[in-house]
Chain A
């Protein structure tokens, strides 16, 4: 055991030294300081520009950024010029308060999601899904979070209410996209991604609702498993997939926990990134 320990540490130290010495080669071929001085002498630079220059050249001497820099500069200036422009800039809007605040709803959904990820991560440290086949730790850890854990109560409260905010704002965001006609060509794909996000947001809420495993969660789980079981032919399999059995078992909580904290976050985060990337590339639909 101890031998393994030391071998491992020596290996790690060896790797660190290797990397450090490989990266240290900067001064020999690349007159970084001369370049820095030359750039700095071309004009007045603030602290931000100076720091950026330092980091940029540091990275360049190690990763030869010059190749990627030219490439990304090309991409930046070639993708529709509109890319970095905002809604207001692009359409020369003089009014930003009128009803364009409704265009914030997507951003509010995003902000809610971030808050949920942060508070959820902290809650996850203290919540126990009861993996041994006994769901009562779930409820007990919930009580612990609510009554004993410092800031646990407010943490759960924020997580809980942000869920409601997120579902509502995603729904309203969808309504705003619909009633401004922003789902039409060329934004069909983004609308479809949005539909998936709407559904997944609701599934997120449902799976989280089951986690405290109190009486309401139990009732909701019964309704859910009945719906899943009722599908023709494949019902049993759907129920097993989602609730780990065609009847509620103690493992149901563990399954819901895994769905709630791993599967859904991965899918939803990916979809949101794609969604926002598409908005960024296409710009926001013409205002009316």
Chain B
């Protein structure tokens, strides 16, 4: 018997065992009670969706969508304020103006792409700092141990709260307090 055949034997044994377990599990689940999708969840979701759409239409009716003067490259840079969901990035950019700025030589690679000196300026501070909260979002699934609820796992819940507070700080508080 070759190795492949052995693998095949192991796999079918595994499947047999698994099927037996699943059959037992199924039997247990068949005897369920509780609210069904129809009508309870459907009713609840319809109510929520309908309220959402009515709030939406109310806003659409109440507040005109903005359309300012046409873009003019020669005009004095006017009042600029991005939409609220990119304010965090804008906040890092504004913050970057107060952080140290320097010039980094890029050496050999820089010569090739035609940028021998890299200016580490406010814009790059902004772009790089924006990457941090976005990057952090990818981490949670790989940090935890066993499944826990927030109340059993206050450190994780607290970290989430700190994250939210930071986003709030950078996108609202900061803009209120920068000149």
Contact = CB atoms under 8 A, between A and B. Distances in A.
B65 A156 contact: yes
Contacts, number: 211
A175 B48 contact: no
Nearest to B137: A195
A223 B90 CA distance: 8
B34 A92 contact: yes
A154 to B, nearest CB: 6
Given A199-B134, A223-B93, A157 B71 contact: no
Interface in A93-152: 93-94, 96-97, 101, 104, 107-108, 111, 115, 135-136, 139, 142-143, 146
B57 interface: yes
Given A142-B67, A157-B60, A181-B150, A104 B36 contact: no
A89 B31 CA distance: 11
- Most A CB contacts (10 A, CB to CB) among B85, B86, B90, B149 go to B85
B169 interface: no
Q: How large is the interface on B (under 10, 10 to 19, 20 to 34, 35 or more residues)?
A: 35 or more
B67 A143 contact: yes
Interface of B: 22, 25-26, 29, 32-37, 40-41, 44-45, 48-49, 52-53, 56-57, 59-61, 63-73, 75, 77-86, 89-90, 93, 104, 106, 109-110, 113-115, 118-119, 121, 123-124, 126-127, 130, 134, 137-138, 140-142, 144, 147-151, 153, 156-157, 160, 164
26 contacts: A82-B29, A86-B36, A86-B41, A89-B34, A90-B34, A91-B34, A96-B35, A104-B49, A108-B48, A153-B64, A157-B65, A174-B137, A191-B141, A195-B138, A213-B70, A214-B68, A214-B70, A215-B75, A216-B80, A222-B80, A223-B82, A227-B127, A229-B123, A232-B124, A233-B118, A248-B73
